[in-house]
Structure 1
Amino acid sequence: MRTGSEPITARSPLRMRFWLGVWGLTWTGAGTIAFALAERLGWALVCGVLFLVVAVDLVVVLRHIRQGPHFQPGRDVPPYEPPDNG
């Protein structure tokens, strides 16, 4: 059931974003090194920029995880306001 308050009470899968970010950081770092060693500087630069984007995203995700329930409510907090049955 939609209540209209979804943007306020929406949840973000921060742990999943964290692990996908770690995966992306690993691959972009490896890509940067591999392309630099193969002397493909354009591709190395692209991978390096993506590495920085993923690193910034990981910092933001970790900050939100550490801020606690304000950004990531626990399982006992409903994702929406219960409907009025009156």
Structure 2
Amino acid sequence: MLREYRKTATIMAEQFTGDPNQVFMYDMFPDVDNCNNKFHYFLHTKEGDMCINPGDWIATGENGEHWPIKDDIFKQTYELVEEEE
């Protein structure tokens, strides 16, 4: 039977800008597309290296694992948790 589910885990996330500090912090490696003179970035994940573009989000799970999420999917799936004062 088809049922509706919602995500219950909280993640940490930041939007990828292509900034060298982010590339270093997440141990990414760039690849150059010589045809378009453009960089492509790859993020190490449990499932293998995944392509990530500026504007995508880098999600960090409870166990420190990272994965990329496209901006439109991220905005449809997650909402900001307000910090308690």
Higher helix share: 1
Higher RCO structure, 1 or 2 (CA under 8 Å, sep 6+): 1
> Counting strand residues as a fraction of each chain, which structure ranks higher?
2
TM-score in terms of structure 2 length: 0.31
Larger radius of gyration, structure 1 or 2? 1
